[in-house]
């Protein structure tokens, strides 16, 4: 039974991550597809070894604003199409999505907005919620067209209390607001599956840690990175995982294994 291994990782600046060993990790990852978020660089600013790391091809979608946001994908499997247009200028300018088709598999590699705002006053929450809904519309359309769809990336929201170490202290913090969590409820109610939770029901598993006060060493974190699968994709599901020991970013990589038949 041949497997496709798919990763998602918010690298918190790909150039910085490269200095901490990204290329070595990439070569040892045994991945077929890797979606990156928060690349924070134009393609011409990236070193050659991470633009063309054989046997992968790479594709990047930067934000208009330099040094901000941006997504990228590495793949051993030639993509049929890559879409970066959500039909809204304010969304498109932030370089937050790649919708990539591989046969009947469609992967949306997404960096969902943080709702904090410049003054940490939750001023970007309306933008974040609107972005969630637009991505949901595109994912549902792809699913209803008969595709097997994965939506992966940094969702910037912890869904339930077991998805962060200190839920009571963060109820008014963007990332754990009721209105943000309701957006994830909506995905699940529509049939989407949080792949990591299929076989792991316990807490203590996180994907992001503050860089202050030794949070990572103490495992005081948040699980805000997800791979969601539509029911049609779950027929090919073999397992999901989090790699907290992989350093290089304040996030760690997450992944799924799928039967290669998902492409056909």
pLDDT tens for 132-143 read 999 999 999 999
Residue ranges in the chain modelled with pLDDT below 70: 1
Q: Which residues contact 263 (CB under 8 A, 6 or more apart)?
A: 4, 77, 102, 103, 104, 105
Distance (Å, whole) CA 170 – CA 9: 24
* Coil, strand or helix at 84: coil
pLDDT tens for 61-85 read 999 999 999 999 999 999 999 999 9
Active site residue 154: yes
CA 16 remoteness from chain centre: 18
Distance (Å, whole) CA 45 – CA 157: 30
Distance (Å, whole) CA 110 – CA 9: 10
pTM comes to: 0.98
Q: How confident is the model at residue 1, as a pLDDT?
A: 60
Q: How confident is the model at residue 213, as a pLDDT?
A: 85
CATH of the domain at 204: 3.60.10.10
Active-site pick, 52, 85, 121, 154: 154
The domain total for the chain is 1
Peptide bond before residue 55 is cis, with ω within 30 degrees of 0:
yes
Range of the domain at 185: 3-263
Helix axes 178-189, 125-144, angle to 10 degrees: 0
Q: How confident is the model at residue 56, as a pLDDT?
A: 97
């Amino acid at each position: 039974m041949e497997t496709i291994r798919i990763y998602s990782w918010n690298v918190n600046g790909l150039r910085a991550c490269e200095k901490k060993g990204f290329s070595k990790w990439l070569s040892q990852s045994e991945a077929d597809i890797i979606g990156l978020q928060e690349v924070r660089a134009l393609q011409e600013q990236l070193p050659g070894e991470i633009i063309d790391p054989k046997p992968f091809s790479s594709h990047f979608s930067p934000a208009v604003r330099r040094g901000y946001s941006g997504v990228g994908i590495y793949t051993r499997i030639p993509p049929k199409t890559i879409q970066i247009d959500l039909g809204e200028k304010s969304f498109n300018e932030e370089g937050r999505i790649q919708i990539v088709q591989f046969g009947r598999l469609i992967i949306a590699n997404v960096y969902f907005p943080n709702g904090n705002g410049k003054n940490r006053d939750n001023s970007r929450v309306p933008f974040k919620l609107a972005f969630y809904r637009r991505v949901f519309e595109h994912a549902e359309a792809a699913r209803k067209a008969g595709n097997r769809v994965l939506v992966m990336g940094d969702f910037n929201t912890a869904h339930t209390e077991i998805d962060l170490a200190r839920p009571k202290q963060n109820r008014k913090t963007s990332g754990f607001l009721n209105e943000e969590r309701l957006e994830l409820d909506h995905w699940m109610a529509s049939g989407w599956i949080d792949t990591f939770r299929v076989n792991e029901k316990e807490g203590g598993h996180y994907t992001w840690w503050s860089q202050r006060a030794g949070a990572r060493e103490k495992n005081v974190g948040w699980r805000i990175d997800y791979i969601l699968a539509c029911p049609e994709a779950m027929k090919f599901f073999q397992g999901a995982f989090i790699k907290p020991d992989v350093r290089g970013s304040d996030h760690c990589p997450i992944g799924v294994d799928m039967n290669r038949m998902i492409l056909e």
